[in-house]
Structure 1
Amino acid sequence: MREHPIGIGFAHAKVVLFGEHAVLYGVAAAAIPVKQLTMQVTASLSAADDECWVTFAGPGALPAVDPRRRADAPMRVLVSNTLAALGSRHRGVNLVVDCGIPQARGLGSSAAGARAVVLALADLLDRHIEPQVCHYLIQSSEQAVHGKSSGVDAAAVAASRPILFRDGVATDLAWGVDALVVIADSGVAASTQDAVGQLRRRFEQHPGRQAEFVDRALRIVRTATDGLARGDLDAVGRAFTRNHELLRDVELSSAALDALVDSAVAAGSPGAKLTGGGLGGCVLALARDLPQASEIAMAFRRAGATSTWTVAPGRVLSLPEFDGSRP
Structure 2
Amino acid sequence: MQPKVNPASGAQLSLDARRPLQDLRHGGLGSSHGKSILMGEHSVVYGAPAVALPLLDLQTAVSVRASDTATITSDLYTGPLAKAPKELRPVITALRATAKHVGLNIESCEIVISSTVPLERGLGSSAAVSAAMVAAVSNAAGVKLNPDDEFNLVQIAENVAHGTSSGLDAHTVRSLTPVRFQGGKPTDVHVATPFTFVIADSGTSGSTSAAVNGVRMLREQSPRFVNGIIDNLANLAENAIAALGEGDSKGLGESMYQGQEQLARLGVSAPALDALVEGAIKHSALGAKLTGSGLGGCVLILAKDHDHANALIEEMQGVGATRGWKTSLVPSHLASDFQHDSGLDGLFNNEENV
Shorter-normalised TM range: 0.7 to 0.9
Aligned to 1:155: 171
Q: Corresponding residue for 1:128?
A: 144
Corresponding letter in the other structure for 1:9: G
Correspondence 1:325 to 2:343: no
Deviation, structure 1 residue 87:
3.2
Q: Indicate whether 1:112 and 2:128 are aligned.
A: yes
Which residue does 1:29 correspond to in 2?
50
The one-character-per-residue Cα deviations of 1:18-64 (angstroms, maximum 9, x if unpaired) are 1122223222222222222111122245767xxx754323xxx4576
Secondary structure at the residue paired with 1:37? strand
Are 1:247 and 2:263 counterparts?
A: yes
SS across alignment from 1:187: coil
Superposition TM-score, scaled by structure 2 size: 0.79
Partners of 2:315 and 2:234 in 1: CA distance: 31
Instruction: Report Cα offsets for 1:180-227 as digits up to 9, x if no partner.
Output: 212212222334444334433443455445523321211211222233
Deviation at 1:144, TM superposition (A): 2.0
> Does structure 1 conserve the Cα–Cα contact (< 8 Å) formed by 2:286 and 2:303?
yes
Change (3 A) 1:175 1:75: closer
Aligned counterparts of 2:191 and 2:331: Cα–Cα separation in 1: 10
User: What amino acid is the match of 2:138?
Assistant: A
Contact 2:90 2:126 in 1 (8 A): no
User: 1:8 touches 1:123 (CA, 8 Å); kept in 2?
Assistant: yes
Amino acid at match of 1:147: G
Q: Secondary structure of 1:312's partner? A: strand
2:349 is aligned with what amino acid? Answer: R
Query: How much has 1:92 moved relative to structure 2?
Result: 6.2
Between stretches 294-303 and 113-122, larger displacement belongs to 294-303
1:157 Cα shift? 0.8
Aligned-pair CA distance for 1:159: 0.8
Match of 2:40 among 19, 29, 33: 19
Structure 1 equivalent of residue 74 of structure 2: 56
Q: 1:56 to 1:195 in 2, by over 3 A?
A: farther
Residue ranges of structure 2 left out of the alignment (5+ in a row): 1-21
Instruction: Point out the more displaced range, 94-103 or 39-48.
Output: 39-48
**Structure 1 CA distance for aligned equivalents of residues 305 and 93 of structure 2:** 45
Distance, in Å, in 1 between the alignment partners of 2:71 and 2:217 is: 37
Residues 1:282 and 1:70: Cα distance change in structure 2 (over 3 Å): closer
Q: Write the distance in 2 (CA, Å) between the matches of 1:198 and 1:67.
A: 37
Distance (Å, rounded) in 2 between the aligned partners of 1:21 and 1:212 = 13
The C-alpha deviation readout for 1:51-95, integer Å capped at 9, x for no partner, is x754323xxx45767547666543443333222221346566543
Of 289-298 and 179-188, more deviation after overlay is shown by 289-298
Counterpart-to-counterpart distance in 2, 1:225 and 1:201: 30
| 2:154 alignment partner in structure 1 | 138
- Distance in 2, matches of 1:249 and 1:237, equals 19
CA offset at residue 315 of structure 1?
4.7
Task: State which of 25, 28, 38 in structure 2 corresponds to 1:4.
Answer: 25
Displacement after TM superposition at 1:264 (Å):
0.6
The one-letter amino acid paired with 1:117 is: M
Residue 250 (structure 2) pairs with residue 234 (structure 1): yes
2:196–2:305 contact (8 Å) kept in structure 1? yes
Separation (CA, whole Å) in 2 of partners of 1:202 and 1:145:
27
Where does residue 97 of structure 2 map in the other structure?
81
State the match for 1:175 in structure 2: 191
| Cα drift, residue 255 of structure 1 | 1.0
- Provide TM-score, normalisation by structure 1: 0.85
Give the letter for the 1:122 counterpart.
S
- Mean Cα deviation higher: 87-96 or 213-222: 87-96
- From 296, 301, 307, the counterpart of 1:285: 301
Q: Please tell me the root mean square deviation across aligned C-alpha atoms, in Å.
A: 2.9
Q: Distance in 2 between matches of 1:163 and 1:2?
A: 37
Q: For 1:238 and 1:317, how far apart are their aligned partners in 2?
A: 25
- Choose 201-210 or 168-177, whichever is displaced more: 201-210
CA distance in 2, matches of 1:69, 1:292: 41
Q: Given that residues 26 and 141 in structure 2 are in contact (C-alpha distance below 8 angstroms), is that contact kept between their aligned partners in structure 1?
A: no
Aligned mates of 1:276, 1:296 — CA distance in 2 = 20
Deviates more, 1:187-196 or 1:210-219: 187-196
User: What is the SS of the residue equivalent to 1:101?
Assistant: coil
Q: 1:54·1:66 contact (CA, 8 Å) conserved in 2?
A: no
Q: Which residue identity lines up with residue 292 of structure 2 in the other structure? A: G
Distance (Å, rounded) in 1 between the aligned partners of 2:202 and 2:156:
29
**Closer, same or farther in 2 for the Cα pair 1:203/1:325, shift >3 Å?**
farther
1:116-153 CA distances to partner (integer Å, 9 max, x unpaired)?
11111112222221111111111222222123432221
Distance 1:126 1:177, change over 3 A: closer
Aligned partner (choices 274, 286, 297) of residue 258 of structure 1: 274
Q: Which amino acid aligns with 2:25?
A: H
Q: How many equivalent pairs are there?
A: 321
Deviations 1:151-190 (CA, angstroms, capped at 9, x unpaired): 2211111111222222333322122455421221222233
2:182 aligned residue: 166
Cα shift readout 1:239-282 (whole Å, capped 9, x = no counterpart) = 10121122222222211111111101111112100112222221
Checking the alignment, whether the CA contact within 8 Å between 1:192 and 1:278 is kept in structure 2 is: yes
